Amino acid sequence: MKRMTFLKGLVGAAAIAAIGLPVVAQETIKIGEINHYKRMAAFAGPYKLGIEMALEEVNAAGGVLGKPMEFIFRDDQGKPGEAVKIAEELMTRDGAVMLTGTILSNVGLAISSLAAEKKYVYLASEPLADAITWSKGNDYTFRLRSSTYMQAAMLAEEAAKTDAIRYATIAPNYAYGKDAVAAFKKALTKLKPEVEFVAEQWPALFKIDAGAEAQALERAKPDAIYNVTFGGDLAKFVREGGTRGLFEGRNVYGLLSGEPEYMDPLGDEAPEGWVVTGYPWSEITEGPGKVFVDAYMAKYDDHPRIGSLVGYMTVQSIAAVLEKAGSTDSEAIRAAFADLPVSTPVGDITFRAQDHQATMGAYVGTIALKDGKGTLENWVYKDGADYTLSDEEVMKLRGSGN
């Protein structure tokens, strides 16, 4: 009898614990954050710090919907299949109310597809491929950062002001690189129809043979070069191109090349004179951008990278959409994203209802050397709302169902 009573007590305790678990799980609002923390640490590390800083601020101010917000960080190793597996676990096991993250566009596209299938909201914070919000866009995927087309159009605007006619391009051979070249061609040709593209180089991502690529570009004798390489590939290309004189007497336009994540490692080899998109954190002297830089440096004793800014704005965007939705229900969150306004360090942005793309812009400037390292000079912040396709073009790309 004592054994029976004891066993009943265990069963009862287990039942109470099981009943209590969902209550505990709802003490915070969980967001599933999937990224390539080891494979792309230069970007993902500062990105995570930006998230954590914003989370502290949001939760110190009372959280969201009366509860603290919590991010569950998971590493997908930069593999689409692993990212999808993790996303399903976050949705079904971990209680995440929505998903965010990723840097590589092929991974972002994989999660986007799953989001559409499962009717689960995904905020693509960083992946830049145009397909994410256009040709493969869906009702449940939204993007924070300015797209490939938007940033390429900003550089094309600068290129059109010069006398260069013959252009060569170099870009990693995957979704982002393909989109980046197509976007630059489209935008520049529209502004200056007489331009011609005389060479295209497509090195495998993170496997560039920079010497061979530089030689191939030199043989084409272009007036200007459009570069989309980043990370270790960028460093190798800059070094080999500089050694071979590839950049001498030529205009070079670099997508992302001015971002601290990719420019800082170059040190005094930073390619002076390149016109690039980037993040001139040290030159921002006023407004919300300066407030963010100062707070970040005070907290981490280090300067912010573009990843830091994107991570911080990711939390701001999610907090804003949840407050607007008034709920953690997927359909409520999806609906609330339509024309959602968010105040950020770069100013006010809006998530466009027509293509789910935020109007976050980009900084465009020229690389210069200062104290032995690269910085941006003559930079300007360009509003993303001014560098996108028309609503009619967007509708054609997205199709009638999205």
**Do 238 and 318 share a domain, yes or no?**
no
Whether residue 11 is contained in a domain is answered as: no
**Do 270 and 293 share a domain, yes or no?**
no
Whether residue 309 is contained in a domain is answered as: yes
CA-to-CA distance for 173 and 343, rounded, in angstroms?
35
**Do 227 and 88 share a domain, yes or no?**
no
Q: H helices within 167-286, ranges in order?
A: 175-191, 210-219, 231-243, 260-263
Helix axes 175-191, 105-118, angle to 10 degrees: 100
**Do 125 and 173 share a domain, yes or no?**
no
Q: What is the mean pLDDT of each run of 10 residues along the chain (402 residues)?
A: 39 39 64 96 95 98 97 97 98 97 95 98 96 96 97 98 98 93 97 98 96 98 97 96 97 97 95 98 96 98 98 98 98 98 98 97 97 95 95 87 44
Whether residue 15 is contained in a domain is answered as: no
Whether residue 226 is contained in a domain is answered as: yes
Whether residue 212 is contained in a domain is answered as: yes
**Do 168 and 143 share a domain, yes or no?**
no
Whether residue 123 is contained in a domain is answered as: yes
Whether residue 397 is contained in a domain is answered as: no
Name the 3-class secondary structure at 343: strand
**Do 231 and 314 share a domain, yes or no?**
no
Vertex 10: Cα angle to 7 and 14 (nearest 5) = 145
pLDDT of 26 reads 57
By residue range, what is the domain housing residue 263? Answer: 149-281+363-386
- Interstrand relation of 275-278 and 362-370 (parallel, antiparallel or unpaired): antiparallel
pLDDT of 316 reads 98
Residues with Cβ within 8 Å of residue 64, at least 6 apart in sequence: 29, 58, 319, 322, 323
Give the CB-side neighbour count of residue 8, counting CA atoms within 13 A. 5
For residue 331, what are the CA distances in angstroms to 21, 41, 116, 325, 392?
Answer: 25, 33, 12, 9, 26
User: No. of H helices and E strands in the chain?
Assistant: 13, 14
**Do 249 and 382 share a domain, yes or no?**
yes
pLDDT of 304 reads 98
pTM value > 0.85:
yes
**Do 157 and 85 share a domain, yes or no?**
no
**Do 158 and 246 share a domain, yes or no?**
yes
Whether residue 10 is contained in a domain is answered as: no
User: What's the domain count of the chain?
Assistant: 2
For residue 375, give the CATH number of its domain.
Answer: 3.40.50.2300
For 364-399, give one letter per residue: b (16+ CB within 10 A) or e: bbbbebeeeebbbeebeebbbbebbbeeeebeebbe
For residue 374, what are the CA distances in angstroms to 81, 359, 368?
Answer: 37, 27, 6
pLDDT of 238 reads 98
**Do 253 and 107 share a domain, yes or no?**
no
**Do 158 and 260 share a domain, yes or no?**
yes
**Do 290 and 192 share a domain, yes or no?**
no
Name the 3-class secondary structure at 353: coil
CA-to-CA distance for 192 and 173, rounded, in angstroms?
26
